[in-house]
Every structure is written in structure tokens, then in C-alpha cells.
Amino acid sequence: MSPEGTDFLYPFIEADEHDVGALLSDLAASATGKAAESARLRDLTLEALRTDLDEAGRALADRFVAGARLYTFGNGGSSTDAASMAALFGQAPSGVALPARSLVADQAVLTAIGNDVGYELTFSRQLIAFANAPDIAMGYSTSGNSENVIRAFEEAKRRDLLTVGFAGYEGGQMAACDALDHCFIVRSHSVHRIQETQAALSYRLWETVQDCLAPGGERPEPHGLRLEPEEAR
């Protein structure tokens, strides 16, 4: 058989492939397509969930007025998105800074609970220690099935917290979780696209809370530190 063999049938697994230009234009087209898909999913989901987001935003604002702290949690990339939301609420770029904390911030607590009682209790155990009504629990799971997130919602509900969940796919267990007051499902099967839209939903939720708490809003003058405009970034 000639050295070329059947390689011509499989141009992309060839070790001596050399057309960088073709690869780069494929990559750019792929990026553009995925970015468009991300934006489409975000806009569709924001529109479909607008009423629910408004309602949840008002409920959060009520809780903050009553003195609530917000606790956020998730695993992996979702843990970082949860931490971003705690930072957004806590270090508000504009409006009112509100008490918020991520439950993945402390390695000592996470590893102690994971090691001593089990990973599925990493967040619920912290809520037992920290949280009571009128606090708020906000959890992220792209599958909707993360056991430690579900267990945290159940514990939060027992303690009369307001519970907010962000899921993907068809919502998994979170879609049927009685402990959730508000469940936002991003209907996609791509973890990345789900997380991108969850970030947009979370941001919209924060905006709604800020609108409610603003002077002239529905629930002005909360227990928060109002930032001067020049401090806002």
C-alpha cells in the first residue's frame, strides 16, 4: 500500500497536517456559532422566566429588608458562579451592598465536613451552623441533581429560609424539589451554555433586588450600606 494509505479519508487525524489557516477559520466559525447560541439561550430564558425572576427579586428584597444574609453554594464551576454572586450582592458595583457569603470560601470548614460526615452534607451542615429565617439560600447545579445542593435546600426550608435554585437540562431533582421557593431552569444540555445563562439570570435577579431597594422602589431603605456613586465601579 502506498505511504498515503487511507489517510486521505481521515484528513483531520493526520499527524503531518499543516493547514493552520483552515483550522483557525474553523475555530473562529465555531466560536461565533457558540457565542450566538449562548446569546440566544440567554435571551429566550430571560424572557421565559421574567415573571418568576421579578417575583423572586421582590421576595429577596423583602428578606433583605428584614435583615437576611444570603448564602450561595454549588460545586466546581457552579461553586465559582455562586461565589461571584455572593461578591456581586456583597460588593455591589452600584446601589446597595447586601450581606452575602459563599459557602465554598472556607477550605477548613469544607474539608472538615467532607472528611468527618460526608460530602453530601458540606452545605447543609454549614446552614445549620449559620442560617436562620429570614436568611436566603441560593444554590447552583447544572444537572439539578447535586446531592449536597439538594440537601442544603431541604435544610434551608426546615429553617424557614427563602430558597432559590438554578438548574439546567430539565431541572433534574431540583425541578421536583418541594424545598425550593424559586427554581430557575436553563433548558439546555450544554453545561457551558447553562452556566452562561445562569450568570445572566443571577445578574437579572440582583438587578431586580436593587430596583426594589432603590429610593422610590418598592422596598426602600433596607439594612444595607448605600454606596456613594463615586464608590460604585
Partner 1 sequence: MDHTSSGPAVNPGPDAADLAAASLAMARRFAAGATLWCASPAWPSHAQHVAVEFVHPVIVGKRALPAVTVGGDHPLESLRQLARSGDVLLLVSRSDEPAAAALPQRARAWGLLTIWIGAGPRPEPGAADYVLWVDEDETISSYGGRFVLLYHLLWELTHVCFEHPGLLKPELAECTEEVCITCSDEGRLGEIVAVRADGQAQVRTPAGLEAVDTTLIDDARPGDLVLIHAGAAVTIVEGSA
- Of 21 and 216, which has the nearer Cβ to partner 1? 21
Residue whose CB is less far from partner 1, 34 or 159: 34
Closest separation in Å from C-beta 155 to partner 1:
24
CB neighbours (10 Å) of residue 10? 9
Shortest distance in whole angstroms from residue 158 CB to partner 1 = 28
Q: How far is the CB of 14 from partner 1 (least distance, A)?
A: 6
Comparison of 61 and 179: residue with beta carbon closer to partner 1: 61
Smallest gap from Cβ 226 to partner 1, in A, equals 17
Cβ atoms < 10 Å from Cβ of 207:
15
Identity of the residue, 106 or 160, whose beta carbon is nearer to partner 1 in the bound complex: 106
Min dist. Cβ of residue 161 to partner 1 (A) = 23
Q: Nearer to partner 1 by C-beta: 179 or 210?
A: 210
For 214-232, give one letter per residue: b (16+ CB within 10 A) or e.
beebebeebebeebeeeee
225-226 and 96-97 beta bridge pairing? antiparallel
Grid cell locating 178: 418541594
Query: By CB neighbour count within 10 A (0-12 exposed, 13-18 middle, 19+ buried), where does 135 fall?
Result: buried
Residues 180 and 149: beta-carbon distance below 8 Å = no
Q: What does the radius of gyration of the chain's CA atoms come to, in whole angstroms?
A: 22
Cβ distance to partner 1 smaller for residue 155 or 204:
204
Burial class (CB in 10 A: 0-12, 13-18, 19+), 157: middle
Nearer to partner 1, 72 or 124 (CB): 72
**Least distance in Å: CB of 85 to partner 1?**
9
Task: Provide the binding-site residues for partner 1, judged by CB under 8 A.
Answer: 12-20, 23-32, 34-36, 38-39, 42, 76-77, 79-81, 83-84, 87-88, 93, 102, 142, 191-192, 195-197, 199-200, 203, 206, 233
Minimum CB distance to partner 1, residue 232 (Å): 9
CA separation, residue 185 to residues 75, 111, 143, 151 (Å): 17, 30, 10, 18
